[in-house]
Amino acid sequence: MGAAFSAVYVRDLRLALRRRVEALLPVVFFIVAVSLFPLGVGPEPQTLRQIAAGVVWVSALLASMLSVTSLYAGDHADGSLEQMILSGQSGFVVASAKAAAHWTVTGAPLVLAAPLIGLLLDMSNAALGTLVASLLLGTPILSLLGGMGAALTLGLRSAGVLLILLILPLAVPALIFGAGAVSAVDSGVSTAGHFSLLGALLILTALTAPLATSFALSIALE
């Protein structure tokens, strides 16, 4: 089981490293998307500070969803997915490994880019720290949910947009707890509740999303 996980995980990382530019596109999108908000809302630091947490979180959400469409599509097209399903390895393990790889390639860079973004939006240090921490817990949730969405929409024509429509409602709790933590810090309220809920959500998602994903994959391959 561990062998299968590391085999899939390492392979996906290796593939991403060989297409470095493409792997970094979601982060670029993230930065561009966030930069649009001041242009739309106005550059006043007061306003920006208020909307910063929400803006960063939503942009991270969209960046994650956009990049997750291709999580299974490539393997599906060249027949690798069939082989993975046939291998007798647990679908749960394969789905977890794919989600972990997606997070490493897309989610983690988003978390690393967040402080830069926070500075652009004039966030306080405390808010910035909380934002990074919330994204650290939240982006894996997005990768897990996104993997499930990618499996459900495998091979469909408008898979990208459809996936976003399907997964966004499910991502709302993570968004609320994550962005809410930053608002709490700004108002001087304790963030313990937010982080415990976010953490619980992460555990719940990690235990259930790969299961749903493996079901979705076998449905898609039938």
Partner 1 sequence: MKRPIRWFTFAAPSRFYWLAGLLNPWLWLIAAGLALAGLYVGFFVAPTDATQGESYRIIFIHVPAAWMSMVLYLAMAFWAAIGWMFNARMASMLARAIAPTGAMFTFLALWTGAFWGKPTWGTWWVWDARLTSELILLFLYLGYIALVASIDDVVRGDKAGALLAIVGAVNVPIIYFSVRWWNTLHQGATISMTAAPKMAHTMLIAMMLMTFAFWAYAFATVFTRAQALALERERDTDWVRDLALARKER
Partner 2 sequence: MSTTPSARATSSDAGELPTLTATDLACRRGNRVLFRGVNLAVRPREATWLRGRNGRGKTSLLRLAAGLAVPDSGKILWGDKPVRAAADYAAQRVYVGHANALKEDLSVTESLTFLARMHGRPSDAPAIRAALERIGMGSRRDALVRTLSQGQRRRATLARLALEQRTSIWILDEPYDALDSDGVQAVNELLHEHLRRGGSVLLTSHLSPGDAAPTLAEFDLDPFA
- When the beta carbons of 132 and 176 are compared against partner 1, the nearer one is 176
Q: Which of residues 144-163 bind partner 1 (CB under 8 A)?
A: 148, 152-153, 156-158, 162
- When the beta carbons of 17 and 204 are compared against partner 1, the nearer one is 204
Give the residue among 192, 193, 100, 179 at the shortest CA–CA distance from 134: 179
Residue 3 tokens read as: 């062998």
- Residue-wise DSSP of 25-89: HHHHHHHHHHHHHHHHH---HHHHHHHHHHHHHHHHHHHHHHHHTHHHHHHHHHTHHHHHHHT-S
Is residue 88 left, alpha or beta, with left meaning phi > 0 and alpha meaning psi from -120 to 50?
Answer: left
Q: Does 85 bind partner 2 (CB under 8 A)?
A: yes
Indicate which of partner 1, partner 2, none lies near residue 190 (CB less than 5 to 8 Å, by partner kind): none
- When the beta carbons of 48 and 154 are compared against partner 2, the nearer one is 154
Indicate which of partner 1, partner 2, none lies near residue 55 (CB less than 5 to 8 Å, by partner kind): none
Query: What is the spatial distance between Cα 68 and Cα 135, in angstroms, rounded to a whole number?
Result: 17
Closest approach of partner 1 to the CB of residue 123, in Å: 18
Give me the residues that bind partner 2 (CB under 8 A), please: 3-4, 7-8, 11, 14-15, 18-19, 74, 77-80, 82-89, 221-222
